[in-house]
Amino acid sequence: MEISEATTIVANLQKTKDTKTLIQLLEVLKEKVVPTEKFLRKTKVGIAVNRLRSNSDPAVSALVKTIIKSWKDEVFKEKRKKHQKQAAQSHASEDKNVKVESVKNEENNEQKSKEKFVSTRRRNPANDGVKINFYDNSTRNGCISGLYTALAIGSTAQPDDIVGVAKEVEKCAFEMHKGKIDDKYRNKTRSLIMNLRNKKNPELREKILSRELKASRFVYMTNQELAPESLKKEMADMHQKNLFEAQGAVQKRAVTDRFVCGRCKQREVSYYQMQTRSADEPLTTFCTCEKCGYRWKFC
């Protein structure tokens, strides 16, 4: 219903005294009016209808009460929907602000992690201003402190990053020993700390701090696996040398010109063959250049 039409009906309600006409007008309003708060304020139709509540005719009075109640319910629903919409928009705005703030904090933390930490003193939890009392147990806290100090050797990583990694390593070692703080747990953490403190093994510290090597893998590695790359190569070369010398001492070697030395290109090469793998695999041939002493093998 248009505002002008409602205004006309309101004027007729105020003028007419005929009960039948009043009921007809009220029925029109009941059927056609969409009772929004704005519409009722502009047309004042609610006020006009409510005045007929005390009409002497029971039919008019009852119809007025029905219309007024219906309109009040509709206006209440409208207000509730409006309030819910505003609340939803407010929550959405707050969530957006929280997300923006969270993203900013993450960016700040990431930027801080990339910044180098420079210290003029030996790095340890006390000198770096880091609290390591995460647990009620002093042994566990002491292990975290030892891991922190070892990881911080020669590092410019932020204290928060180092203590986070140290805590992860200790937790994995603790879980590895089923939550028991016994000699096995102490020996394991001591071994991890000693390997990390090895000045010849900065690669290990870097891999742990960058999380390239996960703490869950680190605690299960053997001392051989944790050794510096230079030492691993040295041990491999020594093993290879010992293999040649040990096998050569018990095997009769023949000299031939069929093989060419990869180093000096001479053809004076001694060799012997051994079964070093399973029986269905071919023999391994061990060669030694008689000119320059270069050794190699092939299958």
| Alpha helix ranges (H) inside 115-158 | 125-128, 138-151
Q: Give the domain-ending residue among 27, 61, 85.
A: 85
166's tokens: 């140290």
CA distances, 77 to each of 16, 39, 107 (Å): 33, 15, 44
Tell me if 98 is assigned to some domain.
Answer: no
Q: Structurally, how many domains does the chain consist of?
A: 3
Contact 134, 163 (CB under 8 A): no
List the pLDDT tens digit at each of the 299 positions of the chain. Answer: 787 887 888 788 788 778 888 788 888 888 888 888 788 788 888 888 888 888 878 888 888 888 888 888 888 888 888 888 888 887 777 777 777 676 666 665 555 556 788 888 899 999 999 998 999 999 999 999 999 999 999 888 999 999 999 999 999 999 998 888 999 999 999 999 988 888 888 888 898 999 899 999 999 988 777 776 665 566 566 666 666 665 544 456 788 898 999 999 999 999 888 887 777 788 888 899 999 989 998 88
Q: What is the largest CA-CA distance in the chain?
A: 138
Tell me if 67 is assigned to some domain.
Answer: yes
Which domain does 244 fall in, by range? 230-298
Contact 75, 69 (CB under 8 A): no
* CATH code: domain of residue 59: 1.20.930.10
pTM of the predicted model, to two decimals?
A: 0.45
Distance separating alpha carbons of residues 282 and 273, to the nearest angstrom: 10
